[in-house]
Amino acid sequence: MRNILNKIVFFIVVSICLILITLFPREAMVTGEGRAVKVVYTYDFSWEEYMGNIIHFAESFIKNGSFGETRYHKPVEEEVAIYFPRSLKIIVTAFFLSLAAGVLKGIYDFKNSTKRKSILGNWSTWLLLSIPDFLIILLFQWIIIFYVNWIDIFGHEQWFNFFIPSLLAAIYPAMYISRITAGAVSSEAGKQYVQVAKAKGFNENYILYRHILKNCGGTILNYVPTMMIYILSNLLFLEYLLDYKGAAYRLWLALDFEPRIFIGRESFYEPSVIISFGICFMAIVLFAQICSHLLSSRLDPR
């Protein structure tokens, strides 16, 4: 229980830090000097402006029960209700895909650890882990576009549009869990209870799935929060490339990285949107941590 309370307190502290960082004044003065119109950037921090941003956000949250408004003058909560469920479909699907595939791949790697010529053995796991995940995503996207272009991978309008991003988001986390599973099973395989079970004549698969894998469950579940972080870290890249308008895509728009020099465009930086979606993503990690702790404690009372 104390461990869970520590995680909740840490979540609250990180959320407050996110709010304070997001509300930090960011506008800089851009001026031109000389005949060549040399661009000069100047930034003057103002405590009054910073405190004003914090007070305005707090008043909106306390009095109106809202995080504020978007650039479209709509409540932030409406944006969250529209965009976040789209990303949640990817996150949940990728989570179960990566967990199931990772455990199965880890078992396969363990069984074939002594076979050097195994096509899908340990070397394939290490290869996929050594390649940056965004390159793997780009490669799979290229294969789909040029060789199986009958598959609609862009947009979010079709009910099945979430599956390809989920599959791509699950590749790297699955290889990560595969390595953890193979290591955990290998460490359990040499213990005395396994030798006793073999001496009694039990089938190796029975020993593996009935005893070894059960004892490895707590170890594997301890790494589930890290797996979830891997999934979330790929979400922005996937949604941007596949034009999937989910929460990460909307968060990117709220950050407003488009240049405004010489075109007179007003700032579309949306701190309330950033805070809302940021807290939602951190809440997913917190939920994964709590579930991981409860389940691992149940499987491994030690």
- Quote the pLDDT of residue 84: 94
What are the extents of the domains in the chain? 22-65, 75-299
Say how many C-beta atoms besides its own lie within 10 A of residue 104's C-beta: 14
Q: What is the pLDDT of residues 217-232, one digit of tens each?
A: 888 899 999 999 999 9
- Quote the pLDDT of residue 276: 92
Place of tokens 């053995």: 121
Mean pLDDT by 10 residues, the chain (302 residues): 88 93 76 57 78 87 83 87 93 94 88 66 73 78 79 78 89 90 85 81 80 84 92 88 89 74 61 92 94 81 50
Those residues with Cβ within 8 angstroms of residue 67's Cβ, 6 or more apart along the chain or in another chain: 57, 60, 61, 75, 76, 77, 272, 273, 275, 276
SS3 42: strand
CATH topology of domain 75-299: MetI-like fold (1.10.3720)
Q: What is the pTM of this model?
A: 0.84
- Quote the pLDDT of residue 28: 63
**DSSP H/E element including 31:** strand 29-33
